[in-house]
Structure 1
Amino acid sequence: MQTNFKILIVEDNVIIADDLEQIIESFGYNVIGNVISYERAVSFLEKNRVDLVLIDIDLATEKTGLDLANYINQYIQVPFIYVTSNLDDQTINIAAKTKPSAYLVKPFDNNTIYASIEVAITNYIEEKVDHNQNKKDHLFLKKNNLYHKVKTDHISYVKSDNIYLEIYTIENDKFLIRNTLKSFLTELPSNFYKCNKSHIININNVKTFNLNYVFINDKQITVSKEFKPYLKSLIN
Structure 2
Amino acid sequence: MKILAVEDEKLFAFTIEQIIDELGYQLVGIVDNAEEMLRLFAANKPDLALIDINIKGSMDGIEVARRISQSQFAVPIIFITSFSDQKTFERAREVRPFAYIVKPFDEKMLQRTIEIALYRYAGKASMQDEKVNWQQDVMVRDSFFVKTGSRLEKVKISEILYVESNDKYIKLYTEKDVFSIRMPLKELSEKLPLTEFVQVHRSYIVQAAYIEDIDLKEQMLTLKKHKVPISKNFLEPLLKRLNTI
| TM-score (ref. length: structure 2) | 0.51
Call closer, same or farther: CA 1:49–1:58 in 2, change over 3 Å: same
> Shift in Å at residue 23 of structure 1?
2.0
Scaled by the length of structure 1, the TM-score of the pair is 0.53
Which of these residues, 33, 46, 60, is aligned with residue 50 of structure 1? Answer: 46
Q: CA deviation at 1:205?
A: 7.5
- Aligned CA RMSD, in angstroms, stands at 1.9
Amino acid across the alignment from 1:9:
A
Measured in 1, the distance between the counterparts of 2:86 and 2:107 equals 25
Aligned position for 1:96: 93
Separation of aligned partners in 2, 1:57 and 1:45: 16
CA distance 1:31–1:92, change in 2 (3 Å): same
Q: How many residues align?
A: 133
Matched residues in 2 for 1:21 and 1:205: separation?
A: 41
Structure 2 distance, partners of 1:19, 1:127, is 28
Q: Which runs of 5+ in 1 are unaligned?
A: 135-202, 207-236
1:116 aligns with 2:113: yes
Q: Is the Cα contact below 8 Å between 2:52 and 2:80 reproduced in 1?
A: yes
Separation in 1 of the partners of 2:99 and 2:123? 16
Spell out the pairing of 1:93-172 with structure 2 (5 A cutoff). Answer: 93-131=90-128, 133=129
Amino acid across the alignment from 2:8: D
- Give the 5 Å matches for 1:1-236: 5-75=1-71, 76-131=73-128, 133=129
Q: Which amino acid aligns with 1:46?
A: A
Work out whether residues 35 and 58 of structure 2, in 8 Å CA contact, stay in contact via their aligned partners in 1: no
Once the two structures are TM-superposed, the CA of residue 62 in structure 1 deviates from its matched residue by 3.1
Unaligned runs of 5+ in 2: 131-192, 197-245
Task: Determine helix, strand or coil for the equivalent of 1:63.
Answer: coil
**What does the per-residue CA deviation read over 1:152-173, in whole Å, with 9 as the maximum and x for residues that have no partner?**
xxxxxxxxxxxxxxxxxxxxxx
**1:109 to 1:96, Cα distance in 2 relative to 1, 3 A:** same
1:178-208, Cα deviation, whole Å (9 max, x unpaired):
xxxxxxxxxxxxxxxxxxxxxxxxx9989xx
Do the aligned partners of 2:7 and 2:32 also contact (CA within 8 Å) in 1? yes
Match of 1:168 in 2: none
1:103 partner SS:
strand
Cα distance in 2 for partners of 1:65, 1:33 equals 16
Identity %: 35
User: How many angstroms does 1:102 deviate by?
Assistant: 0.7
Displaced runs of 4 or more, over 3 A: 203-206
- Specify the code of the residue in structure 2 equivalent to 1:43: R
2:127 partner SS: helix
- What is the aligned partner in structure 1 of residue 221 from structure 2? none
What CA deviation, in whole Å up to 9, does each residue of 1:128-172 have, x standing for no partner?
Answer: 1114x27xxxxxxxxxxxxxxxxxxxxxxxxxxxxxxxxxxxxxx
Task: Name the CA distance, whole Å, in 1 between partners of 2:69 and 2:45.
Answer: 15
Shift of 1:97: 1.2
Rounded Cα–Cα distance in structure 2 between residues aligned with 1:80 and 1:44: 15
